[in-house]
Amino acid sequence: MTVLEGATVRLRPPAVEEYPLLFGWFNDPEVVAPYDRFSVDTMDSFVASVESASTDPSSLAPRFVVERRTTPGPIGFVGHYKPHPVLEYLEVWYVLGDTAARGRGYGKEAVGLLIGHLFATTAFARIGAVCDVENVPSFRLLEGLGLRREATLRSALFHHGRWHDVYAYGVTRPEWSARTPPG
Ligand SMILES: CC(C)(COP(=O)(O)OP(=O)(O)OC[C@H]1O[C@@H](n2cnc3c(N)ncnc32)[C@H](O)[C@@H]1OP(=O)(O)O)[C@@H](O)C(=O)NCCC(=O)NCCS
C-alpha cells in the first residue's frame, strides 16, 4: 500500500468503508461546483472504477484520499490519469470534499506530494493539470507548486449550462527537480 506523508497531510488508498463518503463528494454539486464536474452514474460504477484504477492509466477514479496527519479520516481525494491516447504525460486532479478544510494549504501540499510521487515512480517527463479559468484556488495552487500556464483551451468544458475556457498547466521533470524546496 502506497502512503505519502507530508508535513500536515497524508495520502493513502481509499478504504472500502469510505466509498460512500467519496461517492457523495463526486455527486455533490456544492463540493465540485462551481468549476468542475467529476460525477459518475452509480455507486456500483464508482466502486468498479476505484477498484480497477490500478490497471487503468486513464482512469479518473480517486487514487488516494487526503487526510490530516493529526486527524484520521478523508478530507479530500486526488487522482491522476493519462489524458491522451498518443501523448505521453499524466494529469492530476484534486478535490477537498470537506469544504471546511479548504484554504489551509492542505490541497497544495497534497498535490505536491502526488506530483513528486508520480515523477519518482514513473518515467513521464511532464505532469499537467487543467482547470476552469474561473477556478482561482485551483490555478493558484498549481502556480504555487511551480507549474506553468501553457495554454488556454477555449470552450473546452461544459458545465452549468455553458461552455467554459480552461487553463492547461504543466511542469517538466527538470523543473520539478529544481524546485526549492524540492517537492
Ligand atoms: C482547489 C482546491 C483543491 C484547493 O485546495 P485548498 O486546500 O483549498 O487550497 P490551498 O489552501 O492549498 O491554497 C492553494 C492556493 O490557492 C489560494 N486560495 C485558496 N483558496 C482561495 C480562494 N477561495 N480564493 C482565492 N485564492 C485561494 C491560496 O492562497 C493558495 O495560493 P498561494 O500559495 O499563492 O497563497 C479546493 O479549493 C477544492 O477542493 N475546490 C473544489 C474542487 C476543485 O475545484 N478542484 C480542482 C478542479 S481543477
Q: Would 165 be classed as within a structural domain? A: yes
Residue 122 lies in a domain: yes
Q: Is residue 159 part of a domain?
A: yes
Q: For residue 52, what pLDDT is reported?
A: 94
How many domains would you assign to the chain?
1
Q: Is residue 42 part of a domain?
A: yes
pLDDT given for residue 107 in this prediction: 98
CATH at 149: 3.40.630.30
- Please tell me the distance from the alpha carbon of residue 4 to that of residue 27, in angstroms, as a whole number: 26
- Average pLDDT of the chain, as a whole number: 93
How far apart CA 115 and CA 183 sit, in angstroms, is 8
Q: What mean pLDDT is predicted for residues 60-76?
A: 96
Q: Which residues have CB under 8 Å from 48's CB, separation 6+? A: none
SS3 175: helix
Sheet of 126-132, strands arranged across:
4-5, 9-12, 64-68, 74-81, 90-95, 126-132, 162-172, 148-159
Residue 37 pLDDT: 64
Look at residue 9 and tell me whether its pLDDT is greater than 70.
Answer: yes
Query: Quick check: 39 pLDDT over 70?
Result: no
Query: Is 90 a domain residue?
Result: yes
Tell me which residues have their CB closer than 6 angstroms to ligand 1.
Answer: 32, 35-36, 94-96, 102-108, 131, 135-138, 140-141, 144
List all residues 6 or more positions away from 182 whose beta carbon is below 8 Å from its beta carbon.
116, 176
182 in a structural domain? no
Domain that holds residue 17: 4-177
Substitution site in 108, 139, 164 for ligand 1 pocket (most atoms within 8 Å of beta carbon)? 108
C-alpha span between 98 and 167 (Å, rounded): 25
72-87 mean pLDDT = 96
Inside any domain, residue 45:
yes
